[in-house]
Structure 1
Amino acid sequence: MAGNTGTPGATVTGRIMSILSGFDEHHPRLSLTEIARRADLPPATVHRLVAELVRHGALARADGDYVIGRRLWDLGLLAPIQSTLRETASPFLHDIHAATRATVHLAVRDGHQVLYVERMSGLASVPVVSSVGSTLPMHATGVGKVLLAHAPEDVRHRVLSSLTRVTPYTITQPGLLLKQLERVRHEGWATTVEEMSLGACSVAVPVRREDEVVAAIGIVAATIRRDRGRLTAVLQVAAQGIARQLGGIPPR
Protein backbone atom coordinates (compact mmCIF):
# COMPACT_ATOMS: atom_id res chain seq x y z
CA MET A 1 0.00 0.00 0.00
CA ALA A 2 1.40 3.40 -1.00
CA GLY A 3 1.02 6.51 1.14
CA ASN A 4 -1.73 6.93 3.73
CA THR A 5 -4.73 6.06 1.61
CA GLY A 6 -6.86 2.98 1.80
CA THR A 7 -6.54 2.39 -1.94
CA PRO A 8 -3.97 -0.36 -2.48
CA GLY A 9 -1.15 0.57 -4.82
CA ALA A 10 -2.19 4.22 -5.14
CA THR A 11 0.65 6.72 -5.43
CA VAL A 12 0.48 10.39 -4.52
CA THR A 13 0.65 11.26 -8.21
CA GLY A 14 -2.15 8.82 -8.99
CA ARG A 15 -4.35 10.27 -6.25
CA ILE A 16 -3.75 13.82 -7.46
CA MET A 17 -4.58 12.84 -11.02
CA SER A 18 -7.77 11.15 -9.78
CA ILE A 19 -8.76 14.38 -8.05
CA LEU A 20 -8.06 16.56 -11.09
CA SER A 21 -9.77 14.09 -13.44
CA GLY A 22 -13.00 14.49 -11.49
CA PHE A 23 -13.47 17.89 -13.14
CA ASP A 24 -14.93 17.99 -16.65
CA GLU A 25 -17.30 20.11 -18.74
CA HIS A 26 -20.30 18.75 -16.81
CA HIS A 27 -18.58 19.18 -13.42
CA PRO A 28 -16.53 22.42 -13.63
CA ARG A 29 -16.93 23.00 -9.88
CA LEU A 30 -17.10 20.40 -7.12
CA SER A 31 -17.45 20.29 -3.37
CA LEU A 32 -14.92 18.40 -1.27
CA THR A 33 -17.42 15.57 -0.84
CA GLU A 34 -18.04 15.37 -4.58
CA ILE A 35 -14.31 15.34 -5.31
CA ALA A 36 -13.81 12.45 -2.88
CA ARG A 37 -16.69 10.50 -4.42
CA ARG A 38 -15.60 11.04 -8.03
CA ALA A 39 -11.95 10.29 -7.22
CA ASP A 40 -12.93 7.27 -5.10
CA LEU A 41 -10.64 8.43 -2.29
CA PRO A 42 -11.08 8.85 1.47
CA PRO A 43 -12.33 12.34 2.43
CA ALA A 44 -9.35 12.92 4.74
CA THR A 45 -6.91 12.19 1.92
CA VAL A 46 -8.82 14.44 -0.47
CA HIS A 47 -8.93 17.26 2.10
CA ARG A 48 -5.15 17.14 2.51
CA LEU A 49 -4.33 16.89 -1.20
CA VAL A 50 -6.88 19.52 -2.25
CA ALA A 51 -5.36 21.94 0.25
CA GLU A 52 -1.96 21.34 -1.36
CA LEU A 53 -3.39 21.84 -4.85
CA VAL A 54 -5.03 25.11 -3.80
CA ARG A 55 -1.78 26.28 -2.24
CA HIS A 56 0.05 25.69 -5.53
CA GLY A 57 -2.69 27.21 -7.71
CA ALA A 58 -3.78 23.96 -9.38
CA LEU A 59 -7.22 24.33 -7.78
CA ALA A 60 -9.04 27.45 -6.58
CA ARG A 61 -11.90 28.12 -4.16
CA ALA A 62 -15.21 29.36 -5.58
CA ASP A 63 -18.10 30.02 -3.17
CA GLY A 64 -17.30 27.02 -1.03
CA ASP A 65 -16.58 24.71 -3.96
CA TYR A 66 -13.42 24.07 -5.94
CA VAL A 67 -12.56 24.82 -9.58
CA ILE A 68 -9.50 24.22 -11.74
CA GLY A 69 -6.85 26.83 -10.98
CA ARG A 70 -5.10 29.14 -13.40
CA ARG A 71 -1.76 27.43 -12.75
CA LEU A 72 -2.83 24.32 -14.66
CA TRP A 73 -3.84 26.40 -17.67
CA ASP A 74 -0.56 28.30 -17.58
CA LEU A 75 1.36 25.03 -17.53
CA GLY A 76 -0.78 23.62 -20.33
CA LEU A 77 0.20 26.52 -22.54
CA LEU A 78 3.82 25.36 -22.30
CA ALA A 79 2.97 22.17 -24.21
CA PRO A 80 4.82 22.52 -27.56
CA ILE A 81 1.78 22.16 -29.81
CA GLN A 82 -0.34 24.70 -27.90
CA SER A 83 2.36 27.32 -27.31
CA THR A 84 3.56 27.06 -30.91
CA LEU A 85 0.01 27.19 -32.22
CA ARG A 86 -0.95 30.27 -30.21
CA GLU A 87 2.18 32.17 -31.18
CA THR A 88 1.95 31.16 -34.83
CA ALA A 89 -1.78 31.69 -35.18
CA SER A 90 -2.01 34.99 -33.30
CA PRO A 91 -1.40 37.41 -36.23
CA PHE A 92 -3.72 35.41 -38.48
CA LEU A 93 -6.46 35.40 -35.85
CA HIS A 94 -6.12 39.16 -35.53
CA ASP A 95 -6.50 39.45 -39.31
CA ILE A 96 -9.68 37.34 -39.20
CA HIS A 97 -11.04 39.44 -36.36
CA ALA A 98 -10.28 42.70 -38.18
CA ALA A 99 -11.92 41.44 -41.38
CA THR A 100 -15.08 40.02 -39.79
CA ARG A 101 -15.51 41.71 -36.39
CA ALA A 102 -16.85 38.35 -35.24
CA THR A 103 -15.73 36.10 -32.39
CA VAL A 104 -12.73 34.06 -33.51
CA HIS A 105 -11.63 30.73 -32.04
CA LEU A 106 -8.49 28.60 -32.12
CA ALA A 107 -9.10 25.12 -30.75
CA VAL A 108 -7.50 21.69 -30.43
CA ARG A 109 -8.87 18.27 -29.56
CA ASP A 110 -8.51 17.25 -25.93
CA GLY A 111 -9.52 13.62 -25.73
CA HIS A 112 -13.20 13.52 -26.65
CA GLN A 113 -13.74 17.27 -26.28
CA VAL A 114 -12.65 20.47 -27.97
CA LEU A 115 -10.28 22.71 -25.98
CA TYR A 116 -10.31 26.44 -26.72
CA VAL A 117 -6.71 27.69 -26.89
CA GLU A 118 -7.49 31.24 -28.00
CA ARG A 119 -10.55 33.44 -28.37
CA MET A 120 -11.08 36.95 -29.68
CA SER A 121 -14.48 38.42 -28.88
CA GLY A 122 -16.59 39.94 -31.60
CA LEU A 123 -18.36 43.28 -31.52
CA ALA A 124 -21.86 41.89 -32.00
CA SER A 125 -23.87 40.68 -29.00
CA VAL A 126 -23.83 37.02 -30.01
CA PRO A 127 -24.10 34.49 -27.16
CA VAL A 128 -20.77 32.64 -26.97
CA VAL A 129 -20.23 30.09 -24.20
CA SER A 130 -16.57 29.34 -24.86
CA SER A 131 -13.63 30.82 -22.99
CA VAL A 132 -9.89 30.33 -23.21
CA GLY A 133 -9.05 27.05 -21.49
CA SER A 134 -12.61 25.73 -21.53
CA THR A 135 -13.76 22.51 -23.18
CA LEU A 136 -17.03 21.90 -25.01
CA PRO A 137 -18.67 18.96 -26.82
CA MET A 138 -17.15 18.40 -30.25
CA HIS A 139 -20.43 17.50 -31.95
CA ALA A 140 -22.09 20.84 -31.07
CA THR A 141 -19.39 23.28 -32.20
CA GLY A 142 -17.92 24.22 -35.56
CA VAL A 143 -14.29 23.78 -34.52
CA GLY A 144 -15.30 20.59 -32.73
CA LYS A 145 -16.87 19.09 -35.84
CA VAL A 146 -13.70 19.82 -37.81
CA LEU A 147 -11.55 18.10 -35.19
CA LEU A 148 -13.99 15.21 -34.83
CA ALA A 149 -14.04 14.64 -38.58
CA HIS A 150 -10.28 14.15 -38.53
CA ALA A 151 -10.06 12.34 -35.19
CA PRO A 152 -9.11 8.65 -34.82
CA GLU A 153 -11.91 6.17 -35.40
CA ASP A 154 -12.19 5.20 -31.72
CA VAL A 155 -12.69 8.86 -30.76
CA ARG A 156 -15.47 9.31 -33.33
CA HIS A 157 -17.12 6.07 -32.17
CA ARG A 158 -17.16 7.17 -28.53
CA VAL A 159 -18.50 10.65 -29.35
CA LEU A 160 -21.16 9.25 -31.67
CA SER A 161 -22.27 6.78 -29.00
CA SER A 162 -22.93 9.51 -26.42
CA LEU A 163 -24.38 12.52 -28.24
CA THR A 164 -25.96 14.95 -25.79
CA ARG A 165 -28.51 17.62 -26.65
CA VAL A 166 -27.38 21.14 -25.72
CA THR A 167 -30.07 23.09 -27.60
CA PRO A 168 -33.12 21.96 -29.58
CA TYR A 169 -30.94 22.16 -32.71
CA THR A 170 -28.02 20.05 -31.52
CA ILE A 171 -27.38 17.08 -33.83
CA THR A 172 -27.95 13.94 -31.74
CA GLN A 173 -28.59 11.43 -34.54
CA PRO A 174 -25.33 9.49 -35.17
CA GLY A 175 -26.18 8.85 -38.83
CA LEU A 176 -26.81 12.52 -39.56
CA LEU A 177 -23.65 13.61 -37.77
CA LEU A 178 -21.61 11.02 -39.66
CA LYS A 179 -22.83 12.48 -42.95
CA GLN A 180 -21.83 15.95 -41.77
CA LEU A 181 -18.36 14.72 -40.80
CA GLU A 182 -17.91 13.12 -44.21
CA ARG A 183 -18.81 16.45 -45.81
CA VAL A 184 -16.33 18.23 -43.55
CA ARG A 185 -13.53 15.95 -44.73
CA HIS A 186 -14.56 16.38 -48.36
CA GLU A 187 -15.32 20.13 -48.43
CA GLY A 188 -12.87 21.34 -45.80
CA TRP A 189 -15.25 23.29 -43.54
CA ALA A 190 -17.90 22.73 -40.88
CA THR A 191 -20.88 24.76 -39.70
CA THR A 192 -23.28 24.86 -36.79
CA VAL A 193 -26.63 26.62 -36.52
CA GLU A 194 -27.62 27.32 -32.90
CA GLU A 195 -26.35 23.89 -31.88
CA MET A 196 -24.23 25.07 -28.93
CA SER A 197 -26.16 28.20 -27.95
CA LEU A 198 -29.32 29.80 -29.28
CA GLY A 199 -28.66 32.81 -31.47
CA ALA A 200 -25.13 31.75 -32.42
CA CYS A 201 -23.91 30.07 -35.62
CA SER A 202 -20.38 29.11 -36.58
CA VAL A 203 -18.13 28.09 -39.43
CA ALA A 204 -14.70 26.48 -38.99
CA VAL A 205 -11.83 24.99 -41.00
CA PRO A 206 -8.89 22.70 -40.14
CA VAL A 207 -5.29 23.73 -39.55
CA ARG A 208 -2.77 21.18 -40.77
CA ARG A 209 0.82 20.43 -39.94
CA GLU A 210 2.19 18.08 -42.59
CA ASP A 211 -0.60 15.50 -43.08
CA GLU A 212 -2.14 15.93 -39.64
CA VAL A 213 -4.97 18.20 -38.56
CA VAL A 214 -3.58 19.75 -35.40
CA ALA A 215 -6.17 22.47 -34.75
CA ALA A 216 -9.24 24.26 -36.04
CA ILE A 217 -10.04 27.93 -36.41
CA GLY A 218 -13.58 29.21 -36.49
CA ILE A 219 -15.90 32.22 -36.45
CA VAL A 220 -19.07 32.62 -34.39
CA ALA A 221 -21.73 35.02 -35.65
CA ALA A 222 -25.46 35.62 -35.37
CA THR A 223 -25.95 34.15 -38.83
CA ILE A 224 -23.70 32.71 -41.53
CA ARG A 225 -26.31 32.02 -44.19
CA ARG A 226 -25.40 34.93 -46.49
CA ASP A 227 -21.72 35.23 -45.58
CA ARG A 228 -20.71 31.57 -45.23
CA GLY A 229 -18.65 31.59 -48.43
CA ARG A 230 -16.80 34.79 -47.52
CA LEU A 231 -16.17 33.70 -43.94
CA THR A 232 -14.96 30.28 -45.05
CA ALA A 233 -12.57 31.89 -47.54
CA VAL A 234 -11.16 34.19 -44.85
CA LEU A 235 -10.63 31.23 -42.52
CA GLN A 236 -9.01 29.06 -45.18
CA VAL A 237 -6.53 31.78 -46.13
CA ALA A 238 -5.59 32.11 -42.46
CA ALA A 239 -5.35 28.32 -42.04
CA GLN A 240 -3.00 28.12 -45.01
CA GLY A 241 -0.82 30.84 -43.51
CA ILE A 242 -0.69 29.09 -40.14
CA ALA A 243 0.12 25.79 -41.87
CA ARG A 244 3.00 27.38 -43.75
CA GLN A 245 4.38 28.87 -40.55
CA LEU A 246 4.11 25.48 -38.85
CA GLY A 247 5.98 23.91 -41.74
CA GLY A 248 2.99 21.87 -42.82
CA ILE A 249 0.99 21.29 -45.97
CA PRO A 250 -1.79 23.90 -46.38
CA PRO A 251 -5.35 22.56 -46.65
CA ARG A 252 -6.78 22.13 -50.11
Structure 2
Amino acid sequence: MTRPDLGPQRIVCLTEETTEWLYLLGQQHRIVGISGYTVRPRQARQEKPRVSAFLSAKIDQILALRPDHVFGFSDLQADIAAALIRAGVAVTVFNQRSVEEIFAMLWQVAALVGCAQQGERLLEAMRARHAAMRAEIQRRLQQGARRPRVYFEEWDDPPITAIRWVSELIELAGGQDIFPERAREPLGKDRVLPDPQEVVRRAPDLIIGSWCGKKFRPERVAARPGWQDVPAVRDGQLHEIKSADILQPGPAALTDGVAQLHRLILAWMDGPGRAAEGQRPREGGDA
Protein backbone atom coordinates (compact mmCIF):
# COMPACT_ATOMS: atom_id res chain seq x y z
CA MET A 1 0.00 0.00 0.00
CA THR A 2 1.20 3.50 -0.87
CA ARG A 3 0.86 6.31 1.67
CA PRO A 4 1.21 9.60 -0.25
CA ASP A 5 1.05 11.53 3.02
CA LEU A 6 4.18 9.86 4.38
CA GLY A 7 7.76 10.96 3.93
CA PRO A 8 9.32 13.89 2.13
CA GLN A 9 7.21 15.74 -0.41
CA ARG A 10 9.89 17.92 -2.07
CA ILE A 11 12.96 15.85 -2.99
CA VAL A 12 16.17 16.80 -4.77
CA CYS A 13 18.11 13.86 -6.28
CA LEU A 14 21.82 14.57 -6.73
CA THR A 15 22.33 11.40 -8.79
CA GLU A 16 20.28 9.49 -11.32
CA GLU A 17 19.48 6.25 -9.51
CA THR A 18 17.10 7.76 -6.94
CA THR A 19 15.36 9.77 -9.66
CA GLU A 20 14.77 6.66 -11.77
CA TRP A 21 13.55 4.71 -8.75
CA LEU A 22 11.04 7.39 -7.69
CA TYR A 23 9.65 7.42 -11.24
CA LEU A 24 9.31 3.62 -11.16
CA LEU A 25 7.45 3.96 -7.87
CA GLY A 26 5.13 6.55 -9.42
CA GLN A 27 6.42 9.19 -7.00
CA GLN A 28 7.99 11.56 -9.53
CA HIS A 29 5.70 14.36 -8.33
CA ARG A 30 7.86 14.55 -5.20
CA ILE A 31 11.00 15.37 -7.19
CA VAL A 32 11.76 19.10 -7.46
CA GLY A 33 15.37 18.93 -8.70
CA ILE A 34 17.73 16.44 -10.37
CA SER A 35 21.32 15.91 -11.45
CA GLY A 36 22.36 17.31 -14.80
CA TYR A 37 23.74 13.87 -15.67
CA THR A 38 20.32 12.24 -15.46
CA VAL A 39 19.29 10.39 -18.62
CA ARG A 40 16.96 7.78 -17.09
CA PRO A 41 14.08 8.22 -17.37
CA ARG A 42 14.22 10.52 -20.37
CA GLN A 43 11.23 12.59 -19.29
CA ALA A 44 12.95 13.62 -16.08
CA ARG A 45 15.24 15.96 -18.04
CA GLN A 46 12.20 17.58 -19.61
CA GLU A 47 10.17 17.89 -16.42
CA LYS A 48 12.64 18.64 -13.62
CA PRO A 49 15.18 21.44 -13.09
CA ARG A 50 18.82 20.34 -13.15
CA VAL A 51 20.61 21.66 -10.09
CA SER A 52 23.80 19.62 -9.72
CA ALA A 53 26.65 17.86 -11.44
CA PHE A 54 28.29 14.98 -9.58
CA LEU A 55 31.02 16.80 -7.69
CA SER A 56 29.31 20.18 -7.51
CA ALA A 57 25.83 21.60 -6.99
CA LYS A 58 24.01 24.91 -7.24
CA ILE A 59 23.33 25.26 -3.55
CA ASP A 60 21.34 28.50 -3.86
CA GLN A 61 19.10 26.99 -6.54
CA ILE A 62 18.55 23.86 -4.44
CA LEU A 63 17.58 25.94 -1.42
CA ALA A 64 15.24 28.04 -3.55
CA LEU A 65 13.34 24.83 -4.37
CA ARG A 66 12.58 24.42 -0.64
CA PRO A 67 13.41 20.70 -0.50
CA ASP A 68 12.46 18.72 2.57
CA HIS A 69 14.93 15.95 1.64
CA VAL A 70 17.97 15.56 -0.60
CA PHE A 71 19.30 12.19 -1.79
CA GLY A 72 22.99 11.86 -2.68
CA PHE A 73 25.52 9.14 -3.41
CA SER A 74 29.02 8.44 -2.13
CA ASP A 75 31.68 10.21 -0.13
CA LEU A 76 32.41 12.33 -3.21
CA GLN A 77 29.26 14.33 -2.47
CA ALA A 78 30.12 14.89 1.18
CA ASP A 79 30.90 18.58 0.71
CA ILE A 80 27.59 19.19 -1.06
CA ALA A 81 25.78 17.33 1.71
CA ALA A 82 27.56 19.34 4.41
CA ALA A 83 26.60 22.67 2.82
CA LEU A 84 22.95 21.64 2.62
CA ILE A 85 22.89 20.28 6.16
CA ARG A 86 24.33 23.56 7.45
CA ALA A 87 21.45 25.30 5.64
CA GLY A 88 18.97 23.15 7.54
CA VAL A 89 18.10 20.58 4.85
CA ALA A 90 17.63 16.90 5.63
CA VAL A 91 20.13 14.92 3.55
CA THR A 92 20.61 11.20 3.02
CA VAL A 93 23.78 10.13 1.25
CA PHE A 94 23.91 6.48 0.29
CA ASN A 95 27.18 4.70 -0.44
CA GLN A 96 26.05 1.47 -2.10
CA ARG A 97 28.83 -0.48 -3.80
CA SER A 98 27.52 -4.04 -4.07
CA VAL A 99 24.40 -5.55 -5.61
CA GLU A 100 22.92 -6.24 -2.19
CA GLU A 101 23.67 -2.70 -1.07
CA ILE A 102 21.83 -1.39 -4.16
CA PHE A 103 18.80 -3.50 -3.21
CA ALA A 104 18.98 -2.16 0.34
CA MET A 105 19.19 1.45 -0.84
CA LEU A 106 16.18 1.04 -3.12
CA TRP A 107 14.13 -0.46 -0.31
CA GLN A 108 15.06 2.38 2.04
CA VAL A 109 14.04 5.05 -0.49
CA ALA A 110 10.74 3.27 -1.13
CA ALA A 111 10.06 3.13 2.60
CA LEU A 112 10.92 6.82 3.05
CA VAL A 113 8.22 7.81 0.55
CA GLY A 114 5.58 5.45 1.94
CA CYS A 115 5.93 2.84 -0.81
CA ALA A 116 7.61 -0.03 1.02
CA GLN A 117 5.25 -2.75 -0.23
CA GLN A 118 5.28 -1.51 -3.81
CA GLY A 119 9.07 -1.26 -3.67
CA GLU A 120 9.32 -4.80 -2.35
CA ARG A 121 7.24 -6.11 -5.25
CA LEU A 122 9.47 -4.38 -7.79
CA LEU A 123 12.63 -5.61 -6.09
CA GLU A 124 11.33 -9.18 -5.90
CA ALA A 125 10.63 -9.05 -9.63
CA MET A 126 14.26 -8.02 -10.20
CA ARG A 127 15.48 -10.87 -7.98
CA ALA A 128 13.30 -13.32 -9.91
CA ARG A 129 14.90 -12.24 -13.20
CA HIS A 130 18.34 -12.67 -11.64
CA ALA A 131 17.41 -16.16 -10.47
CA ALA A 132 16.28 -17.05 -14.00
CA MET A 133 19.65 -15.89 -15.37
CA ARG A 134 21.51 -18.04 -12.83
CA ALA A 135 19.37 -21.03 -13.72
CA GLU A 136 20.04 -20.58 -17.44
CA ILE A 137 23.79 -20.35 -16.86
CA GLN A 138 23.72 -23.41 -14.59
CA ARG A 139 21.86 -25.35 -17.28
CA ARG A 140 24.47 -24.45 -19.88
CA LEU A 141 27.35 -25.32 -17.55
CA GLN A 142 25.81 -28.74 -16.99
CA GLN A 143 25.71 -29.17 -20.76
CA GLY A 144 29.45 -28.52 -21.01
CA ALA A 145 29.64 -24.76 -21.59
CA ARG A 146 32.15 -22.63 -19.74
CA ARG A 147 32.01 -19.13 -18.39
CA PRO A 148 33.76 -16.48 -20.49
CA ARG A 149 36.51 -14.44 -18.89
CA VAL A 150 35.39 -10.80 -18.97
CA TYR A 151 37.37 -7.59 -18.91
CA PHE A 152 35.12 -4.65 -18.10
CA GLU A 153 36.64 -1.21 -18.69
CA GLU A 154 35.05 1.78 -16.95
CA TRP A 155 37.51 4.30 -18.40
CA ASP A 156 40.24 4.14 -21.01
CA ASP A 157 42.91 6.70 -20.13
CA PRO A 158 44.05 5.42 -17.75
CA PRO A 159 42.27 2.05 -17.91
CA ILE A 160 39.95 1.56 -14.93
CA THR A 161 38.48 -1.87 -14.17
CA ALA A 162 34.96 -2.79 -13.02
CA ILE A 163 33.53 -1.44 -9.77
CA ARG A 164 32.14 -3.96 -7.30
CA TRP A 165 28.48 -4.07 -8.37
CA VAL A 166 29.51 -4.47 -12.03
CA SER A 167 31.87 -7.30 -11.14
CA GLU A 168 29.09 -9.02 -9.22
CA LEU A 169 26.65 -8.55 -12.11
CA ILE A 170 29.18 -10.09 -14.50
CA GLU A 171 29.28 -13.18 -12.28
CA LEU A 172 25.48 -13.23 -11.97
CA ALA A 173 25.11 -12.96 -15.75
CA GLY A 174 27.40 -15.95 -16.27
CA GLY A 175 30.88 -14.53 -16.75
CA GLN A 176 34.11 -14.31 -14.77
CA ASP A 177 35.52 -10.88 -14.01
CA ILE A 178 39.26 -11.08 -14.67
CA PHE A 179 39.97 -8.45 -12.00
CA PRO A 180 37.76 -9.47 -9.04
CA GLU A 181 40.39 -8.31 -6.55
CA ARG A 182 40.28 -4.78 -7.95
CA ALA A 183 36.48 -4.68 -7.84
CA ARG A 184 36.66 -4.60 -4.04
CA GLU A 185 38.36 -1.20 -4.21
CA PRO A 186 35.67 1.50 -3.87
CA LEU A 187 37.68 4.35 -5.41
CA GLY A 188 38.39 4.66 -9.11
CA LYS A 189 42.04 5.55 -8.49
CA ASP A 190 42.52 2.18 -6.81
CA ARG A 191 41.10 0.36 -9.84
CA VAL A 192 43.48 1.98 -12.33
CA LEU A 193 45.59 -0.61 -14.13
CA PRO A 194 49.26 0.31 -13.68
CA ASP A 195 50.19 -2.14 -16.43
CA PRO A 196 47.59 -2.65 -19.22
CA GLN A 197 49.55 -5.72 -20.32
CA GLU A 198 47.99 -7.48 -17.33
CA VAL A 199 44.84 -7.69 -19.44
CA VAL A 200 46.82 -9.57 -22.07
CA ARG A 201 48.15 -11.98 -19.46
CA ARG A 202 44.66 -12.67 -18.10
CA ALA A 203 43.33 -13.33 -21.63
CA PRO A 204 39.68 -12.22 -21.52
CA ASP A 205 37.18 -13.81 -23.90
CA LEU A 206 34.95 -10.73 -23.77
CA ILE A 207 35.87 -7.06 -23.46
CA ILE A 208 33.05 -4.76 -22.43
CA GLY A 209 33.55 -1.02 -22.42
CA SER A 210 31.45 1.50 -20.56
CA TRP A 211 33.44 4.71 -20.70
CA CYS A 212 31.56 7.01 -18.39
CA GLY A 213 30.25 9.95 -20.42
CA LYS A 214 31.77 9.09 -23.80
CA LYS A 215 31.42 6.50 -26.55
CA PHE A 216 33.37 3.26 -26.31
CA ARG A 217 35.84 2.88 -29.20
CA PRO A 218 36.58 -0.84 -29.69
CA GLU A 219 39.03 -0.17 -32.53
CA ARG A 220 41.24 1.82 -30.15
CA VAL A 221 41.19 -1.00 -27.62
CA ALA A 222 42.03 -3.59 -30.27
CA ALA A 223 44.97 -1.46 -31.45
CA ARG A 224 46.67 -1.33 -28.05
CA PRO A 225 50.21 -2.72 -28.19
CA GLY A 226 50.29 -6.45 -27.52
CA TRP A 227 46.51 -6.87 -27.40
CA GLN A 228 46.14 -8.47 -30.84
CA ASP A 229 46.39 -12.00 -29.41
CA VAL A 230 43.86 -11.44 -26.62
CA PRO A 231 41.02 -13.91 -27.32
CA ALA A 232 38.38 -11.15 -27.18
CA VAL A 233 40.30 -9.06 -29.74
CA ARG A 234 41.09 -12.02 -31.96
CA ASP A 235 37.42 -13.06 -32.04
CA GLY A 236 36.00 -9.55 -32.36
CA GLN A 237 34.30 -9.76 -28.97
CA LEU A 238 34.48 -6.08 -27.95
CA HIS A 239 31.15 -4.59 -26.91
CA GLU A 240 29.70 -1.48 -25.31
CA ILE A 241 27.16 -1.12 -22.53
CA LYS A 242 26.13 2.49 -22.05
CA SER A 243 27.31 3.90 -18.74
CA ALA A 244 23.77 5.01 -17.84
CA ASP A 245 22.70 1.36 -18.00
CA ILE A 246 25.42 -0.16 -15.82
CA LEU A 247 27.47 2.45 -13.94
CA GLN A 248 24.69 3.99 -11.88
CA PRO A 249 24.10 1.85 -8.77
CA GLY A 250 20.35 1.70 -8.99
CA PRO A 251 17.50 0.17 -11.00
CA ALA A 252 19.25 0.43 -14.38
CA ALA A 253 22.17 -1.78 -13.37
CA LEU A 254 19.87 -4.39 -11.84
CA THR A 255 17.64 -4.54 -14.93
CA ASP A 256 18.97 -3.32 -18.28
CA GLY A 257 22.65 -3.51 -17.35
CA VAL A 258 22.71 -7.11 -16.18
CA ALA A 259 20.34 -8.14 -19.00
CA GLN A 260 22.82 -6.80 -21.57
CA LEU A 261 25.68 -8.61 -19.85
CA HIS A 262 23.66 -11.82 -19.88
CA ARG A 263 22.84 -11.52 -23.61
CA LEU A 264 26.50 -10.91 -24.50
CA ILE A 265 27.61 -13.90 -22.43
CA LEU A 266 24.99 -16.23 -23.91
CA ALA A 267 25.91 -15.07 -27.42
CA TRP A 268 29.56 -15.82 -26.68
CA MET A 269 28.66 -19.29 -25.39
CA ASP A 270 26.76 -19.91 -28.63
CA GLY A 271 29.57 -18.50 -30.80
CA PRO A 272 33.29 -18.28 -30.00
CA GLY A 273 32.77 -20.13 -26.73
CA ARG A 274 31.22 -23.12 -28.45
CA ALA A 275 34.02 -23.18 -31.04
CA ALA A 276 36.62 -23.16 -28.27
CA GLU A 277 35.06 -25.92 -26.16
CA GLY A 278 37.44 -28.53 -27.44
CA GLN A 279 40.49 -26.29 -27.15
CA ARG A 280 40.38 -25.18 -23.50
CA PRO A 281 39.48 -26.90 -20.23
CA ARG A 282 35.84 -26.67 -19.30
CA GLU A 283 34.95 -24.88 -16.09
CA GLY A 284 32.03 -25.60 -13.81
CA GLY A 285 30.92 -24.08 -10.54
CA ASP A 286 27.81 -22.46 -9.20
CA ALA A 287 26.07 -19.79 -11.17
TM-score > 0.5, shorter chain as reference: no
What TM bracket, shorter-length normalisation?
0.3 to 0.5
> What's the TM-score, normalizing by structure 1?
0.33
Which one scores higher on RCO, CA 8 angstroms, separation ≥ 6? 2
Structure that is richer in helix per residue = 2
> What's the TM-score, normalizing by structure 2?
0.30
